[in-house]
Structure 1
Amino acid sequence: MINDKLPKIWYGGDYNPEQWDKEIMNEDLRMFKLAGIDVATINVFSWALLQPSEDIYDFTWLDDIIERLYTSGTYVCLATSTGAHPAWMARKYPDVLRVDFEGRKRKFGARHNSCPNSPTYRKYSERIAEKLAERYKDHPAILIWHISNEYGGYCYCDQCADGFRTWLQARYATLGQVNKAWNTNFWGHTFYDWEEIVPPNALSEERTGDNTFFQGISLDYRRFMSDSLLECYKLEYNAIKKHTPELPVTTNLMGLYKELDYFKWAKHLDVISWDNYPSFNTPTSLTAMTHDLMRGLKEGQPFMLMEQTPSQQNWQPYNSLKRPGVMKLWSYQAVARGADTVMFFQLRRSVGACEKYHGAVIEHVGHEHTRVFRECAELGAELQTLSDKLLDARANTRVGIIYDWENRWAVELSSGPTVALQYVDEVHKYYDALFQQNIQANLISTEADFSNYDIIIAPVLYMVQKGFAKQIEQFVHDGGTFLTTFFSGIVNENDIVTLGGYPGELRKVLGIWAEEIDALYPDQSNQIVLTESWGALHGQYQCGLLCDLIHAEGAEVKAVYGSEFYQGMPVLTVNKFGAGQAWYVASSPEPSFLQGLLGNLCKEKGITAPIPPVAGIEVTTRTTANNSYLFVLNHNDQPTSIELGDLTGTDLITGEPIKNKITLPPKGVLILEKNESTQNSIKS
């Protein structure tokens, strides 16, 4: 439970009453009650109002807003407002302004515009956080602290250059170690003085995006920037905890956001919260995977859905409306995957600037007689009835998929072998193969407790961090099943190739070595030809992107390539290692192959789906100590029948008894509280 002051699934969202007069706020509070809204996130971008000048602080307006919300029955998620510094600060202390990738000094404007290594920004952001905590430490309205907002963006100023050098000294101790880690003998890059090291941007090592001449330098700068922003967060966190140690603290993450290592950040968040903004055509399984990643950041602990739009976004090229039922469906998807809150951006639409066309519970018309409001009110009423059942329920899974931000940076910074290799896409292919079979998986870090899993999948494990290979060897030796893929085991944590043949440190457990890597053009493919039928797999399948040319050295060959000069060479192998087995998939296969492969591996471990898969139907489970809840979500645009087998129970939303078979309407949701006799039927 996030905070037992409000022991239910929290329902609400971002609210900006400072943009409105009191009469409009009174109307909003009336409509909050109609919609079942009980939490408002406030003060997200109000630093300029709280601190109009360097020495003046004014909290009177915030006092009034918090009190009015609480008196009306709405609790507060209180932000620290440090996501955008005030204009006076930028004018008086230009060190707060970032320098962009092109080397240009920013002016005041936009948001996320503060240099994370600016002494001024760190000083005043810590101070405002502490003043807020000291002022509101005893206010009963405050449920949770929300630090800054959607941290992100890199800076390349002289302060960051100095900070980078200090960070490198702490990491490597000597310039000699830096030169070794970065292989600076290449292109005459040897450094003889710390001051010679500069940030990698368009003026030095990088061109655009992830195109860099020196992967080691660029990789370390990403680590440094992630750490720098984290240090800013921790300054505010510690200032708040000094006064309110009992209140949870969070900041809103952004799912698959590339620039920050969220597993490292998660250690410093009391609860994970994140903002979910899929497009209309985002694959359902990719959104599900992102929810599972957010849940996995704290090893299965329920998380907060901090933001989603009730209707439409404003920042994508084409901002379509959520069709009727989609908002509720996607909200329940978050709950199904582990969310203990359903919150929106925003509760009322702004009248000006770039977010005036971003959807809201209360539209510009200003009353409750809208489609969006009616849907939000329906969901609010439903959450009131089922919250006590689902709160703090967990997802018990036996399959873990490794997701590693540093590995992603390294993969996509790599100069070759193909521009088409995208880390998230390859992870998603394996996740989707399980998703389509109603088998749940956790997204986990390389530091997770592997003993909690029967199967661990590590797609494109290009970078092998120190000690990870030994962890995998122990996991497999003890009876686990490990699977990794092409372009794995290539480099160490400094992006230096492990000599002696790919897959480097994983060679022993996998029982293979890779001699070459062939990059296929988009219109090229090869074939995976099974040596014999195995369960759901038989015949041949298409593969592409990359093809590792591997040799078995102890591993059993399960499939070979069907064409090219490496026809007949292994493409799928398994190596028995201790009591377990390690699999290697040497290319990127078509979906049907992955479904068959992972289905077979799960079956061998006794991992089965709770109900048979149906196209367009998402199935997942949350459990408490005493109960199990099956979520069945219909993402189809038509009614869909689903066989439940022997499962019986009660639909938490309607209260109706359920057994054998159901037909869900388009975008419909079933939350089945299983009868005691079927509590043990879900194994995955």
Structure 2
Amino acid sequence: MPELSDVTRGRLVYGGDYNPEQWPETVWLEDVALMREAGVNLVTVGVFSWGRLEPSPGTFDFGWLDRVLDLLHENEIGVSLATPTASPPPWMSLRHPDTLMVTADGVRMSHGSRNHYCPSSQVYRHYARAIVTALARRYGEHPALRLWHVNNEYCEVCYCDGTAQHFRRWLCEKYETLGALNEAWATAFWSQHYGEWAEILPPRAAPYLRNPTQVLDFKRFCSESLLQCLRAEREILRAATPEVPITSNFMGLFAPLDYWQAAAEQDFVSHDWYPDLTDPTAHIGTAMSYDLMRGLAGRKPWFLMEQSASGSHGARRPPGHLRTQSLQAIARGSDSVCFFQWRASRAGAEKFHSGMVPHRGPHSRVFREVTALGRDLAELPDVVGSPVPAQVAILMDWDNWWAVSGAHLPASIDLLARLRDFYEPLWQLGIVTDFVRPCDDLTKYPIVLAPNLYLLTASDADRITSYVDEGGTFVMGFFSGVVDEHDHVRMGGYPALLADVMGLRIDEFLPQQGSLSCTSELLGEFTADFWADDLSVTTAEPVAEVAEGELAGTPVVLRNGFGEGTAWYVATRPEPAAMRALLAHIASRAGVTASPQPEGVEVVRRGELLFVINHRPEPAKVVVEGKRVDLLSGERVSGATELPRYGVRVLR
């Protein structure tokens, strides 16, 4: 099977989305000249060009795209050729209005933007297959073609009647009988018993809470519907060009599509990332998204498909920051640095989105930085394909995310915030993490963290139990082990199947509106908030407890020996310093070395290289062990060394 190495060919990929159809052909020659100056070696073409490629049904106009691909090939620039199926042209919605998506409130979308199609529409799927087939036949053997980019940022969710029919077919295949569905959905509650398949609808707008299992199954169905679209395009491309890699771009921690399943359908994982540049800790969330991509890729390199060259979320990227974030991606496993887009648009809804060539043109700070970054990446061929070692895993499961997002829960659980509660202290400690599923092999990690596992299957509980029993260290956050795969509560006390592993049983949840004063011999005095549990200790040892008030004496951190391993339960949200101290202690006990750096400084090993990155606008000093050479500057580095603002060293 083709893979990312067929695209990189021994060097880091550098480029971005190229939209030549927005410009006169006279500009194209300047574009390729500037691309060569900047060191660009690959561009994505055609993402939103369906209307130009097929101006009327079945009538194709490929002449302009022929000229573009020929020009890029003549200038030794490879092409990531996109299927344009994320944005159907106006003729489709005019002739087939049922291809337009409908919201949960019953509002049918119109064309004039993007991503307006219904993934379940057979008409949409027919035309999508047709345009993809035409592209594959025409360009499958073009020498510029390096990879296929399928669709763009799959995210569509529809509630129309066609979707309802598709949902029923999916449910019939899943449950086979209405009796099984009624049991799974607990339809005895609120008189929801279904006597015919035709009675079942998507979870549209309702006067009060929807059936949680219906909502969960609809989210599963929507993800599967998008996967069906992806598979259909992939199979056409695979049949025509079996040696050309296929990918589709993800968007970090994004709910509608199960990225574990989607990653398995592609030859490598791609990522679009636009951090909030007004957030001084955005680099931590960025690192978390990059680590997730590496996990989705099976600990293999991944592909940074999009980022901004000059800003995002209305904020300007400060001088030097483009290089910092880009090399952070390389440090955490990417074999590419690409942007949206090559040339900033002069019209349209995203005309103030950034570009590698901004409105000012090549005589600009942004283009100078783009060109300098191209030179930096050319100095790092040895990093291509190399791994990023990690000794700690964080469990991330889309089924659990969908289930724990329900409006019917005791408190509003933001899974991304819970992940960040565990991830950020590890980042500050210099501990690199992998994201894995509960069903994956956990034995390679000394520590496995589960910030939240509200939904836990029996097989995953068995795997976690075996992991701890055989010597692993497991750390679990609150509101975990509560329901099964149908979102039914497991009776007998939480965390049910993991109660013996954790050495405790929870009788009642105690969401908190204010803060808790806590005490611990290990952690000292600290505050916590958001959650507590009314629990009974069986074999666990309380490590921290509430110090005063109505809950005085209630354990909030517990440790339990189980078999050859140890399980920790964090029953609240400790303040950041306490959480960092707790995870540092757990890491030390498990033999995982922490290497904390000055605030805002990140040190990551990839292969034989050490990346040292300063994310702050002020200089920082770090200590480098041994004698090393900075591949970017050629300097020899040893002992204490200063990193300038947004400075990066790549040390051999």
Q: TM-score range by the shorter chain?
A: over 0.9
Shift in Å at residue 5 of structure 1?
Answer: 6.5
Asked whether the 8 Å contact 1:550–1:571 carries over to 2, the reply is: no
Aligned mates of 1:444, 1:2 — CA distance in 2: 23
* Pick aligned residue for 2:335 from 322, 332, 340: 340
Whether 1:168 aligns to 2:171 is yes
Give 4+ residue runs of structure 1 displaced > 4 Å after superposition: none
Asked whether the 8 Å contact 1:42–1:78 carries over to 2, the reply is: yes
Aligned mates of 2:489, 2:592 — CA distance in 1: 37
* Pick aligned residue for 2:192 from 189, 194, 199: 189
Asked whether the 8 Å contact 1:612–1:643 carries over to 2, the reply is: no
Q: Unpaired segments of 5 or more residues in structure 2?
A: none
RMSD: 1.4
1:134/1:508 Cα in 2 relative to 1: closer, same or farther (>3 Å)? same
Instruction: Give secondary structure in 1 for the equivalent of 2:467.
Output: helix
Q: 2:433 is matched with which residue?
A: 441
* Pick aligned residue for 1:597 from 570, 575, 582: 582
Aligned mates of 1:614, 1:5 — CA distance in 2: 34
TM-score by length of 1: 0.93
Instruction: Give secondary structure in 2 for the equivalent of 1:413.
Output: coil
Asked whether the 8 Å contact 1:651–1:671 carries over to 2, the reply is: yes
Shift in Å at residue 6 of structure 1?
Answer: 3.5
Aligned mates of 1:612, 1:450 — CA distance in 2: 25
Render the CA deviation track for 1:169-219: whole Å, top value 9, x for unaligned: 1111111111111111111111111111111021x47x7xxxx43211111
Residue identity in the other structure for 2:538: E
Aligned mates of 2:167, 2:395 — CA distance in 1: 28
Aligned mates of 2:618, 2:347 — CA distance in 1: 38
Which aligned pairs between 1:331-410 and structure 2 lie closer than 5 A? 331-366=326-361, 368-386=362-380, 388-410=381-403
Render the CA deviation track for 1:300-322: whole Å, top value 9, x for unaligned: 11111100110023xx4xx1210
Q: 2:43 is matched with which residue?
A: 40
Asked whether the 8 Å contact 1:129–1:240 carries over to 2, the reply is: yes
Residue identity in the other structure for 2:545: V
Shift in Å at residue 106 of structure 1?
Answer: 2.1
Aligned mates of 2:407, 2:574 — CA distance in 1: 22
Aligned mates of 1:459, 1:165 — CA distance in 2: 34
Aligned mates of 2:612, 2:49 — CA distance in 1: 41
* Pick aligned residue for 1:622 from 602, 606, 615: 606
Which aligned pairs between 1:137-148 and structure 2 lie closer than 5 A? 137-148=140-151
Render the CA deviation track for 1:501-543: whole Å, top value 9, x for unaligned: 011111121110011111111xx1113321x33xxx3x22111
Q: 2:251 is matched with which residue?
A: 254
Q: Percent identity?
A: 39
Asked whether the 8 Å contact 2:439–2:463 carries over to 1, the reply is: no
Q: 1:422 is matched with which residue?
A: 414
Whether 1:468 aligns to 2:460 is yes
Asked whether the 8 Å contact 1:2–1:271 carries over to 2, the reply is: no
Q: 2:310 is matched with which residue?
A: 311
Aligned mates of 1:172, 1:104 — CA distance in 2: 30
Aligned mates of 1:382, 1:287 — CA distance in 2: 21
Aligned mates of 2:473, 2:8 — CA distance in 1: 43
Aligned mates of 1:77, 1:110 — CA distance in 2: 23
Whether 1:327 aligns to 2:312 is no
Render the CA deviation track for 1:89-117: whole Å, top value 9, x for unaligned: 11112221111121122222211111111
Counting matched residue pairs gives 647
Asked whether the 8 Å contact 2:504–2:540 carries over to 1, the reply is: yes
Instruction: Give secondary structure in 1 for the equivalent of 2:316.
Output: coil
Aligned mates of 2:616, 2:627 — CA distance in 1: 23
Asked whether the 8 Å contact 1:5–1:143 carries over to 2, the reply is: no
Q: 1:653 is matched with which residue?
A: 632
Asked whether the 8 Å contact 2:7–2:245 carries over to 1, the reply is: no
Aligned mates of 2:297, 2:181 — CA distance in 1: 32
Shift in Å at residue 230 of structure 1?
Answer: 0.9
Aligned mates of 2:171, 2:73 — CA distance in 1: 48
Aligned mates of 1:402, 1:219 — CA distance in 2: 19
Asked whether the 8 Å contact 2:148–2:244 carries over to 1, the reply is: yes
Residue identity in the other structure for 2:516: N
Which aligned pairs between 1:75-94 and structure 2 lie closer than 5 A? 75-94=78-97
Which aligned pairs between 1:564-579 and structure 2 lie closer than 5 A? 564-579=549-564
Aligned mates of 1:276, 1:352 — CA distance in 2: 23
Residue identity in the other structure for 1:409: W
Residue identity in the other structure for 2:116: N
Which aligned pairs between 1:45-124 and structure 2 lie closer than 5 A? 45-124=48-127
Shift in Å at residue 447 of structure 1?
Answer: 2.2
Instruction: Give secondary structure in 1 for the equivalent of 2:309.
Output: coil
Instruction: Give secondary structure in 2 for the equivalent of 1:236.
Output: helix
Whether 1:215 aligns to 2:212 is yes
TM-score by length of 2: 0.97
Aligned mates of 2:197, 2:7 — CA distance in 1: 51
Aligned mates of 1:179, 1:594 — CA distance in 2: 43
Whether 1:198 aligns to 2:201 is yes
Render the CA deviation track for 1:7-52: whole Å, top value 9, x for unaligned: 2111000010011112111111111111111111000011111112
Instruction: Give secondary structure in 1 for the equivalent of 2:419.
Output: helix
Residue identity in the other structure for 1:405: W
Residue identity in the other structure for 1:544: D
Asked whether the 8 Å contact 1:253–1:274 carries over to 2, the reply is: yes
Asked whether the 8 Å contact 2:203–2:210 carries over to 1, the reply is: no
Render the CA deviation track for 1:627-675: whole Å, top value 9, x for unaligned: x21111111111111112x3321111112211112100000001111xx
Residue identity in the other structure for 2:532: C
Instruction: Give secondary structure in 2 for the equivalent of 1:658.
Output: strand
Aligned mates of 1:600, 1:581 — CA distance in 2: 13
Instruction: Give secondary structure in 2 for the equivalent of 1:180.
Output: helix
Aligned mates of 1:514, 1:544 — CA distance in 2: 18
Instruction: Give secondary structure in 2 for the equivalent of 1:350.
Output: coil
Residue identity in the other structure for 2:104: F
Shift in Å at residue 556 of structure 1?
Answer: 1.6
Aligned mates of 1:525, 1:38 — CA distance in 2: 53
Instruction: Give secondary structure in 2 for the equivalent of 1:378.
Output: helix
Shift in Å at residue 414 of structure 1?
Answer: 4.2
Aligned mates of 1:338, 1:501 — CA distance in 2: 41
Asked whether the 8 Å contact 1:551–1:569 carries over to 2, the reply is: no
Render the CA deviation track for 1:344-377: whole Å, top value 9, x for unaligned: 10100111111111111112233x2100000000
* Pick aligned residue for 1:529 from 505, 514, 519: 519
Aligned mates of 1:299, 1:4 — CA distance in 2: 18
Shift in Å at residue 299 of structure 1?
Answer: 1.9
Q: 1:676 is matched with which residue?
A: none
Instruction: Give secondary structure in 2 for the equivalent of 1:500.
Output: coil
Shift in Å at residue 401 of structure 1?
Answer: 0.4
Render the CA deviation track for 1:122-146: whole Å, top value 9, x for unaligned: 1111221122122212222111100
Whether 1:299 aligns to 2:269 is no
Q: Unpaired segments of 5 or more residues in structure 1?
A: 674-684
Whether 1:640 aligns to 2:620 is yes
Aligned mates of 1:215, 1:160 — CA distance in 2: 19
Aligned mates of 2:458, 2:227 — CA distance in 1: 23
